Structure 1
Amino acid sequence: MSRSTLVIGDAIKNRGSRHLLSNDVEIPDERIQDIVRDAVLHSPTPFNCQSGRAVVLLKEEHKKFWDIAHDVAKASHAPPIFEKAFAPRIKMFRAAYGTILFYEDSNALKVAEGKMPIVKEKMPQWSEHATGMLQYAVWTMLTAEGLGANLQHYNPMVDSAVAKQWDIPEDGA
């Protein structure tokens, strides 16, 4: 087995949800951004359409995201449900260093569909596969750098507020 195979295998084995996240990060922000950029550029996508997108939110921008999640969840759920199911988790996630938002560029997918109309009906499924691989790649790469990570789904609850805050186009472009 080659050295690179062992390194990748170790990264995969060591990847796991870290629910006790910290904002004590020694890795430069630029390194975190490079990891995400590399994963976006090199993760497989249908017909290499490179449809994956990510927004990296660090420090205050990260906290702003979890403030939005808090406010939207509080407005969307009865107080007992919010206090028990959402408030403690949002507080825990807000205490971390960063958040990465993932989405698919629907325009890139449409271009790929246009090139291969015979598989158009499969593109949504393949897009889901691609975003899963992208998220897994980022998660594994961040863990290999010694960062804690976990995957949370607060969409579609926060989608419109987040799109407005960080100017994410409706079509994901």
Structure 2
Amino acid sequence: METKFIDLAKKRRSIYALGRNVNLSQDELVDLIETNIKQGPSSFNNQTTRAIILFGDSHEKLWDIVVDSLRKVVKDDAAFAKTQAKVNGFKAAYGTILYFTETKTVKAFEENFPLYADNFQDWSEQSQGNAQYAVWTSLAENGLGANLQHYNPLIDDAVREAFDVPASWRLRAEMDFGSIEAPADDKDYMADSDRFRVFK
């Protein structure tokens, strides 16, 4: 039995100590990310996932937006200091991928396939998961770390304005990535007996 994919899956971890010691070029990274998203499955092949890839000043601008948005809602200075330190860790990474769902496409499929209309939102989220997992694992295969954040919808309006995001794109997640400066913590697993059932 082949286990190459499982070996790669084990490499894909939430890495928070990220840096900018990246050997791949930005063009190579863009190709890697775009290809993984394009190859990801989606219901009815409706391809609802969109992405904006940020490097350099644009990457840093995104995390400045996060800090500014959090400052408006986190009133306690001590709590905000901890939050800001965490976000600065994301900012220290090499780049960020913003993942979006194209809501016009979802709505069109709801209207064109009314029998399945209640499912297309869920299916678009499954497409998101497929795309994010594929990119994350492919980054790990190339020796890069990443983690996935969800500051949406708090930052949605500011992101839309800063990066000229189409009105129909709904922000779903932010993935910062870069060189691995420290490994992930050990991962705990729940008991297989609580998670799986097999009938033969």
Q: Same fold (TM over 0.5)?
A: yes
**CA offsets 1:84-121 (integer angstroms, 9 cap, x no match):** 2x111111111110010001001122232233211001
TM superposition score normalised by structure 2: 0.80
1:25 maps to 22
1:39 aligns with 2:44: no
Secondary structure (helix, strand or coil) at the match of 1:107 reads helix
**CA offsets 1:104-152 (integer angstroms, 9 cap, x no match):** 0011222322332110011111111111111111111111111111111
**Aligned residues: CA RMSD:** 1.4
Counterpart of 1:70 in structure 2: which amino acid?
V
1:123 maps to 120
Q: Which runs of 4+ in 1 moved over 2 A?
A: 6-9, 110-115
1:82 maps to 80
Aligned partners of 1:11 and 1:144 also within 8 Å: yes
Q: What is the CA–CA distance in structure 1 between the aligned matches of 2:133 and 2:21, rounded to whole Å?
A: 23
Aligned partners of 1:46 and 1:112 also within 8 Å: no
**CA offsets 1:29-85 (integer angstroms, 9 cap, x no match):** 11111111112211111110000001100122111111111111112211232122x
1:147 aligns with 2:132: no
Q: Higher helix proportion, which one?
A: 1
Gaps of 5+ in 2: 171-200
Q: Higher strand proportion, which one?
A: 2
Counterpart of 1:128 in structure 2: which amino acid?
E
Secondary structure (helix, strand or coil) at the match of 2:146 reads coil
From the CA coordinates, give the structure whose radius of gyration is larger: 2
TM superposition score normalised by structure 1: 0.92
Q: 1:168 aligns with which of 165, 170, 173?
A: 165
The percent of aligned pairs where both chains have the same amino acid is 36
2:198 maps to none
Secondary structure (helix, strand or coil) at the match of 2:130 reads helix
